[in-house]
Each structure stands twice: as C-alpha cells, then as structure tokens.
Structure 1
Amino acid sequence: MNWNERLKALAERPLFNRYAPIGVVWAVAAIAAALLKFPNNNFTIFRHVFWHVWEGLPLYVPYPEVYHDVNLYGPVFSCVVAPFAVCPPLMGLVLWLLAMAGLLFVAVRKLPIERRGRIFIAWFCANELFTALSMAQFNVAIAALLILAFVLIEEGHEGWAALMIAVGTFVKLYGIVGLAFFFFVRRKGRFLGALAGWSVVLFLLPMLLSSPEYIVGQYGAWAEALTVKNDANLFALRQNISLLGMVRKISGRADYSDLWLIVPGLILFALPYLRLDQYRHRAFRLMFLASVMLFVVLFSTGSESSGYIIALTGVAIWYVGVPWRRSRWDVALLIFALLLTSFSPSDLFPRRIYHHYIIPYALKALPCVMVWLKLMWEMMTRDYEE
C-alpha cells in the first residue's frame, strides 16, 4: 500500500470521517482558548463596547485603565456582543468563542461540497481556528458570514444572504466583499432591496441602547479611527500581515501607495467574471468564495494573524472544491500553507525562524498569495464542468 492509499484509508476511519469528532475538537479548542487566554484583552474591549454604548461613552478612544489598544468595530457590534457582555467575564468569553466556532462549523457543514470535503476543511482549519479563537477576534465569525452569504445565495435565500453581508460590513467592513457574489444572485432586485433594508435596521439597531445623536456621532468617529489605524498599520510588526505588508516590509519602502498593488489585484480578481459560460458550474462559483476569502485578507493593511482563519478556509475550499484531481504540486502548496501560515505561530515551528523572518516580513501571507495566484490562473483557464 503506497502513501496515497494509506492516507485515504486513514481518512475513512470514523475519527476522521464524522462530524462529531471534529465538532468536539473545535469546541475543546474554544474552551481551551478561553481558559488559556483569560483575561483576554480583546474580549475586554468587546465587552466594553456594549457598556460604553449603554453609558453613552466614546467608543474609539483609549481606556488604558481598563484595556490596551482601542475598539475598531462598528457601533452595531454593541448589540452583537451584548449577550456575552452581560455575563461574568470568563463565562462570557467561553460562550463568545463557542458561539463563533459553532457558527463557522455550521457554515462549513452547509458548503455545497461533498461530505468528505467539508470534513477535510474542518480538520485542515482546526489549528488556525485555535489561533484565531485565542485572540477572540470577530474574524472567525467573518469567515462564517462570508460562507453563509454564498450558501444562501446558492439556495435562493437572497434576503438572508443580504443580512450576512450587512452584519459583516457594519461590524468590521470585511463583510462587504460578499457583494462579489452579486452576479450569481438570481433575484437581484430582491437582494438589493433586502440589503438596503437590513442596512437601515443595523444602522438604527444600536440606538435601542443609546440616543440617535450619540450613535450617529460614533459612526463618524469610527470612520476616523479606521483611517488612523490604516496609517499606523503599514509597518506595524504584527499588523498588515498581507500581500501589501509583505511587499512593504521586505522592500523596506514607505514612499509608494498600496494602490500600485491593490488595483492590479482587483483587476486580476475580476477577470474570471468574464467567463460567463462557466457561471453555470457550481464549482466555478465556489472558487469565487475561495478567492474572496483570500483576497480580503491579502489586500488589507488591517490583516493580522487571527484573520488567517478566513484565508486558510479559502485555501481549503480551493483544494477540495474543484471537479478534477489535484496534482502533487497542489498538494505541496496545500502543505506549505498549513506549515507556514497555520503552524508558524505555534511551538511546533522553529522560534528563531518565526521571530527573525516570518513576523518581520509578514511571510505568513506568502503561501496564501501563491494559492490565490494559482486559483486565479485556474479560474481563467480550467473547465469546471463536473
């Protein structure tokens, strides 16, 4: 029996071929992340978003006596985090992480991919999930919302898909990339109407916790805070872990605009839309989901380590979502992404290499850049007929 047959035999065993074991692993990862990282500074910020809205305090100024850094999520996040903010801190953190892991688990299970592929995605992303959960960031939920938006569009539930995109956008802006699926929406008028309606609801929703004047003012402050943060991220050691950051940090140059990379990236991202004859193939549409999940991380100065749960999920979808057999080079690229992107922050990776090369030069992004470029080539040249 060769190595490929052995791997297939291993994958068929109940431990690796059922949802229950991986569901338990994800739940344990959430609880472990909560216990190991408590008190969690990020979750402390999130809890206070609710309480600051409730008390009418500024959302985007430092509170050094309570936590480090500042909040960068939209005012509607106060409503999202409210059920967890009113709990005792440790209980709230555990429930917060379990809720995000559970949402992503449900989203992965709903992907229009064969069962074996969905289970593979869940196992492949398990380590990166733990990394993201340890930071308690909303990125896990963003990954889930993007997948659910795609799935709901595929199922013809345009109104609910619009809600997923609106929530992601009003909390962290990342969700707006879900509009990339618009060309696959069957009832476009209904979708746009729902998107407008949900946007109004989410804009007004935090006003239930505070005054309209206060909330409107905080939306303005949010825009200012994001602008300041974008400038601060350019050379930040643990921020801008993206294609943009990798190029800037390796070159050491500060005298150019990121638009020199973003504009060609957008053009390359959009080119597969020209292949109208491929729209009818679900696998082709699924690759747009993978592309979106990679693009939003690789072309954002706000990308950080916890955001790679979005990109790694995109890598896994890229690998299992096509109708042809993956080559050895594809397998090598997948393993490269797992090792360098997912495991480099762990104790299994040489610390000297991680601290002297991976962090300073944002090399966590490198495998995902290679996968995205390979994906773009495939989407422009391959036939996705099953």
Structure 2
Amino acid sequence: MEYNEMMRMSMHDKIKRILRHPLLTDRRVLLGLWTVLSLAGMLKLHRSHNNFLIFKGVFWHTVNGTSLYAAYPAEYDDVNHYGPLFSLIIAPFAVLPEWAGMLLWLLFLSGWLFAAVYWSGLRKSQQVYIYWFCGFTLLTALFMQQFNIAIAAIILSSFFLIEKEHEGWAAFFIVLGTLVKIYGIVGLAFFLFSRHKVRLAAWLAVWTVVLFLAPMAISSPGYIVGQYHEWFSCLVGKNTENIHSFAQNISLLGLVRRTTGSMDYSDLWLILPGMVLFALPYLRRRQYRYLAFRETLLASVLLFVILFSTGSEASGYIIALTGACIWYTAAPWKRGKWAAALMAFVFILSGMGNCDLFPKHIRHDYIQAYALRALPVSILWFWLCCELGFKDYAPNEKMTDHEQEDNRL
C-alpha cells in the first residue's frame, strides 16, 4: 500500500515536471502553436468557408447600400446577423483576394484572443493553462471563421481594462462587442468593480455615439439607421428560429428543452432564475476586494453568455472554455480531484464534442441532438455559483507561489 502510494506520488511529480517544462510554458512557443492552428483553418478554404463569405458581404453590402440582413443565395448560404459596425472590422479583409483575406482574418482572430489573454494580468500559469486547454476549441472556431473568438477577447479586455483603471478603453470594447454581436453587453457586469464609475458611464455614452456613427463613413446616415432597425428585427426572428435549430441553441436552454422533449414553455422560466443565481454574488460586497472573487465572476460571465443564449453554437465554446479555465485557476484554495475530473469532462465533451473522437452516430444522435456539449459547463457553472455565494476568496497566505502553481497543474 505504502509502495503504491509512493509510486503514485512519483508519477504525479513526473507529470508536474513535464508540464513545467520551459518549452511547454514558453508563450512564444504557444503563439507559434496558435499560429499553426490559424493556418490549419485555411483547410476549409473553398470547402466550408461560408461564414467568411457572409462577413465579406457585410462590407460590400454596406458600401453598396443594400440590405445587410437579406438573403443572397448567389453569394452565400444563410444570412448575416452582425450589426452594421462589423462592416468596418471586416473591411481590411474583405478588399483582399479571398484566400489572403481569409488567412489574415484567421490570424487576426487567434492573435486577438492570444493578446487579450497575454495582456490580461492573469498569472503566467493561468495564461499557459488557457492556451493549452482551449487550443482544440479554438481550432473548431477557426474552421468556422467565427467572430466568437474575438468576443472572448472583448469580454476579457473589458474586465481587465476596468481592473487597470483604463475605463475609456474598457468602454470601447463593451460598446464594440454590443454593436457587433450583442454578447459584448455582458461587459456591463463588471461595472460595479470600477473605481471610476462616473468616468466609465461617460465613456460608454461617448463610444456608443462614436461607434454607432462610424459605419456612416462608408455609407450614409439614413442607411445605417435603417440597418440598425433591420438588425433588431433580424435578431428577434433569429431567436425564435434558434430555439428549434439543430446547429444552434447548444446551451443549457437547449439541453433542457431537447432532453425533456418539451416545447410548450418559455425560456424565461430558465433565464430568469439563471439571472438571479448569476446576480446573487454581487451582494457579497466585502468579497469585491479579492481579485480571485472578481476573476471568478468574470468566469461566470463567460459561461453565462453561452449557457443562456439560444444562439450558442459549436464555435462559441471558445468563450465558455476560457471561463472554465479561469474558474479552475483563480481559486485561492487547492482544487481537488473532483474539480480536475470535471475539467477533464469539460475538455472531452464540451471542447471536443463535435470531433471524430466520437463515432458519427454518437455525435449526431446524442451529443448534437440533445445539446450535450452544454452539460459539463452547466455543471461547472452551478458549482461556480455555489462558490461565489459561500466561499471566502481571501488570498491563502500559507501557500507559496510554487505551491499555487502546483495547484493549477
């Protein structure tokens, strides 16, 4: 028994030593890996790059003054669901040859998230954990050319810029995310953590005006105002469509609806209790002083935006998995075996649920059919909510920095 315990501890120490190897923790190596993943995303060129064609269309339809939300079957399948401001973000990539535009777009997306994590203020061990843990999910989003990668970066930037008292830039990212894909509005969840709330509110107002008007530089005022009206109507219709969509609503909402087989109820029966559960930790004002508490609330936001949205799709899980990593690494106490097992469950099912690791009939008939990718992150979010409600996030002074590093591995 004693011999087996020694062997187990020896193996554990070996694993930790491997994970601490300089090559695996060098952020230049990790940047190279993420760059390779971006290049791998080009495998979808001329095979499944419909999303990039839609994104290009946002720019050209804005320039030509045609509807951003109409169907253009001669150009691409499906329709655009992003706000008029997106026309300026995609502009540099839309004017290039298709292959060059798509390549730079993928590099831009992965580079934006990599930089957001790098400049976030998270400890290096947390950053490295995110880079490795989210790599496969990043590739899924890159194959779909999806802006969800940038949404994860925008939410992270909103939080950490408020932490660093750069309210003007924090407001910029909150408004940018909101006017492009609505999701960015969750950055307002960090408002109470700001030390300069009046300044933040003022900058929010300024950037709302500036970014609302910005697309008029390549179109006209009347056109842009009309497109914002169309966008709102489009989003309302899209929400109804998503409820019963096979590829969308991969969320807690979709999980409950599909597993119960019930269709005759409003999602508000789940959303409203979820919002209450999300908001309750804000009552613990004495915990605001602890960075670990604030980071865990950031994790809650990243998870909530996927779990309670009918628009959640496979590429959106880069947002949720980033939140899962922050939850696991932010705690000032030692994570146990159950937390490690849950993270393994998250990685396998939520992170890799649509890959060939699972037989096709399992992926199609169970994981996709019942939105099971939402199950691990749902469990994690409820666990997180319990911790935010009852745990003390005061730093554990008894643990050395080295021991805290071990806790994250």
TM-score above 0.5, yes or no: yes
Identity value in percent: 52
Give the corresponding residue for 2:399: none
Give the corresponding residue for 1:309: 318
Give the corresponding residue for 1:141: 150
Give the corresponding residue for 1:226: 235
Determine if contact 2:45/2:99 at 8 Å carries over to the other structure. no
Q: Is 1:258 matched with 2:271? A: no
Q: CA deviation at 1:37?
A: 4.0
For 2:302, what is the secondary structure of its paired residue? Answer: helix
CA distance in 2, matches of 1:223, 1:113: 36
CA distance in 2, matches of 1:277, 1:125: 32
Q: 1:36 aligns with which of 31, 39, 44?
A: 44
For 2:112, what is the secondary structure of its paired residue? Answer: helix
Determine if contact 1:121/1:313 at 8 Å carries over to the other structure. yes
**Alignment deviations for residues 29-51 of structure 1 (CA, whole Å, 9 cap, x no partner):** 11111233445100000001000
| One-letter code aligned to 2:275 | L
| One-letter code aligned to 1:8 | K
| One-letter code aligned to 1:385 | A
CA distance in 2, matches of 1:274, 1:231: 34
Give the corresponding residue for 2:368: 359
**Alignment deviations for residues 259-287 of structure 1 (CA, whole Å, 9 cap, x no partner):** 00000000000010011110000010001
Determine if contact 1:340/1:364 at 8 Å carries over to the other structure. yes
| One-letter code aligned to 2:205 | A
**Alignment deviations for residues 6-31 of structure 1 (CA, whole Å, 9 cap, x no partner):** 22111111221110111111111111
**Alignment deviations for residues 174-223 of structure 1 (CA, whole Å, 9 cap, x no partner):** 00001000000110011011011001011100101111111111000001
Question: Please, what is the CA RMSD of the aligned residues?
Answer: 1.0
Give the corresponding residue for 2:182: 173
Give the corresponding residue for 2:79: 70
Give the corresponding residue for 1:185: 194
Q: 2:29 aligns with which of 12, 21, 27?
A: 21
| One-letter code aligned to 2:20 | E
Give the corresponding residue for 1:2: 10
Give the corresponding residue for 2:90: 81
Determine if contact 2:159/2:298 at 8 Å carries over to the other structure. yes
CA distance in 1, matches of 2:359, 2:29: 29
Give the corresponding residue for 1:48: 57
Pick closer, same or farther for the CA change 1:359–1:37 going to 2, 3 Å.
farther
| One-letter code aligned to 2:354 | P
Q: Is 1:131 matched with 2:174? A: no
Q: CA deviation at 1:4?
A: 2.4
**Alignment deviations for residues 85-133 of structure 1 (CA, whole Å, 9 cap, x no partner):** 0111111111111111011001111233321121111100000000011
CA distance in 2, matches of 1:289, 1:29: 26
TM-score, with normalisation over the residues of structure 2? 0.93
Q: CA deviation at 1:349?
A: 2.4
Give the corresponding residue for 1:157: 166
| One-letter code aligned to 1:134 | F
Between 1:245-254 and 1:120-129, the stretch displaced more is 245-254
**Alignment deviations for residues 37-74 of structure 1 (CA, whole Å, 9 cap, x no partner):** 44510000000100000000111010001100000000
**Alignment deviations for residues 143-182 of structure 1 (CA, whole Å, 9 cap, x no partner):** 0000011110000000000001010000000000010000
For 2:310, what is the secondary structure of its paired residue? Answer: coil
CA distance in 1, matches of 2:95, 2:23: 37
**Alignment deviations for residues 207-256 of structure 1 (CA, whole Å, 9 cap, x no partner):** 01111111111000001111111111111111000000111111121110
Q: CA deviation at 1:291?
A: 0.3
Stretches of structure 1 lacking an aligned partner (at least 5 in a row): none
Pick closer, same or farther for the CA change 1:302–1:161 going to 2, 3 Å.
same
Determine if contact 1:37/1:134 at 8 Å carries over to the other structure. no
TM-score, with normalisation over the residues of structure 1? 0.98
Q: CA deviation at 1:344?
A: 1.6
Q: CA deviation at 1:356?
A: 1.2
For 2:289, what is the secondary structure of its paired residue? Answer: coil
Give the corresponding residue for 1:202: 211
Q: 2:293 aligns with which of 284, 301, 308?
A: 284
| One-letter code aligned to 1:383 | D
Give the corresponding residue for 2:400: none
Give the corresponding residue for 1:237: 246
CA distance in 2, matches of 1:361, 1:240: 10
Give the corresponding residue for 1:368: 377
